[in-house]
């Protein structure tokens, strides 16, 4: 049994010209017992909630959040806050956490000030309900830590982790799990290989971030949740363990987060 802890079914269906029945059937056919539909703005937050409600029997969970590349004005942040409050009352069992949120200074699609304001609001929101944050950081690790640290204890997942072992340790110290995506399998990703060897097995999650970042041997193709299997196999070899052991540990880690058990 596998878990894809970060995926975008809405974009997967769009890119693959696929439908909901097909993507859900693929999960079952490939023993994906849990997947997390990740929102990137208020519109996809609502969609993610509806999608997870329809597919809860297939182990689909969802997040609510605003990505650093999405517009996060006062209206959007208020809407998000209201949604979180509502969902915590109606469907806390399939609600996975707040995100994806964070800072992206590489794409810089929104002004720095808006990214910081949006991220800060979502950190406070997660704290209020003791929910995990699903964090996206690109070229902004120091600033992200500066926003997180004073609000400690905070916790959650560093999604598609891009950093070295020193950065990973800082994230672990703060109470975060490290999630690796398909780019871990790329031959030239030496730093990431070292990071994955370094992070203890009880703080690792695996994800596709589908339809992006397909793992080897499917690099260059559009990604799907079931391709997460390749990342499981890769990290097992990297850490000198078996795929069975990786499945077991990732399942334990994921269950702990799902049950709000933290690190
Ligand atoms: Zn994502």
pLDDT in tens, 160-181: 999 999 999 999 999 999 999 9
What pLDDT is attached to residue 220?
Answer: 87
What pairing do the DSSP bridges indicate for beta strands 2-7 and 133-138?
unpaired
pLDDT band at 213 (very low <50, low <70, confident <90, very high): confident
The per-residue pLDDT of the chain, averaged, comes to 96
Task: List, in sequence order, the alpha helices (H) in the chain.
Answer: 9-16, 20-29, 42-54, 74-90, 112-129, 141-148, 165-174, 190-198, 228-238, 243-258
The answer to whether residues 63 and 98 touch, using CB atoms and an 8 Å cutoff, is yes
What CA–CA distances, in Å, run from 51 to 6, 85, 162? 14, 18, 29
Distance 7 CA to ligand 1 centre (A): 6
pLDDT at 263: 58
| Structure tokens, 127 | 């704290």
Q: What number is the average pLDDT over the span 69-84?
A: 97
Instruction: Break the chain into its structural domains and give their ranges.
Output: 2-258
Q: Average of pLDDT values for 32-41? A: 98
C-alpha 202 – ligand 1 centre gap (Å): 22
Concatenate the DSSP letters of all residues of 4-68 into one string: EEEE-HHHHHHHHT--HHHHHHHHHHTTEEEEEE--SSHHHHHHHHHHHHHTGGGTEEEEE---T
Residues 100-106 have a mean pLDDT of 97
194 versus 261: the higher-pLDDT residue is: 194
Strand order in the sheet with 32-37: 2-7, 32-37, 60-64, 95-104, 133-138, 156-158, 176-180, 204-206
Range list of H helices, 201-242: 228-238
Backbone phi, psi, residue 163, to 5°: -95, 180
pLDDT of residue 261: 81
| Contact yes or no for 132/96 (Cβ under 8 A) | yes
- With a cut of 90, say whether residue 189 has pLDDT above it: yes
Q: In angstroms, what is the span from residue 85 Cα to ligand 1's centroid? A: 23
- Which pLDDT band holds residue 262 (cuts at 50, 70, 90)? low
Q: pTM for the whole thing?
A: 0.96
CATH number among 3.30.1490.20, 3.20.20.140, 3.40.190.10, 3.30.1370.100, domain 2-258: 3.20.20.140
pLDDT of 58 > 90? The answer is: yes
> What percent of the chain is predicted at pLDDT more than 70?
99
Cα of 242 from ligand 1 centre, angstroms: 27
Please give the distance, rounded to the nearest whole angstrom, from the Cα atom of residue 223 to the centre of ligand 1.
12
- Give the whole-angstrom CA distance, residue 34 versus residue 57: 10
Average pLDDT over residues 9-18: 94
Q: Compute the distance from residue 94 Cα to the ligand 1 centre, in Å.
A: 18
């Amino acid at each position: 049994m596998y878990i894809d802890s970060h995926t975008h079914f809405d974009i997967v269906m769009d890119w693959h010209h696929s439908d909901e029945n097909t993507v859900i059937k693929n999960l079952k056919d490939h023993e994906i017992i849990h997947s997390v539909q990740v929102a990137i703005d208020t519109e996809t937050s609502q969609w993610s909630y509806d999608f997870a409600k329809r597919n809860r029997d297939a182990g689909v969970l969802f997040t609510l959040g605003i990505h650093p590349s999405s517009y996060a004005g006062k209206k959007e942040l208020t809407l998000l806050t209201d949604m979180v409050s509502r969902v915590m009352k109606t469907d806390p069992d399939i609600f996975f956490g707040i995100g994806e949120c964070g800072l992206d200074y590489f794409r810089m699609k929104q002004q720095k000030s808006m990214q910081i304001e949006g991220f800060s609001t979502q950190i406070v929101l997660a704290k209020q309900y003791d929910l995990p944050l699903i964090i996206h950081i690109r070229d902004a690790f120091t600033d992200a830590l500066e926003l997180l640290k004073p609000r400690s204890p905070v916790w959650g997942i560093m999604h598609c982790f891009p950093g070295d072992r020193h950065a990973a340790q800082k994230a672990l110290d703060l109470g975060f799990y490290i999630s690796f995506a398909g780019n871990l399998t790329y031959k030239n990703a030496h730093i990431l290989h070292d990071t994955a060897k370094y992070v203890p097995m009880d703080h690792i999650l695996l994800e596709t971030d589908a339809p992006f970042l397909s793992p080897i041997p499917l690099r260059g193709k559009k990604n799907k949740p079931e391709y997460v299997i390749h990342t499981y196999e890769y990290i097992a070899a990297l850490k000198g363990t078996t795929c069975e052991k990786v499945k077991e540990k990732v399942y334990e880690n994921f269950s702990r987060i799902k049950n709000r058990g933290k690190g």
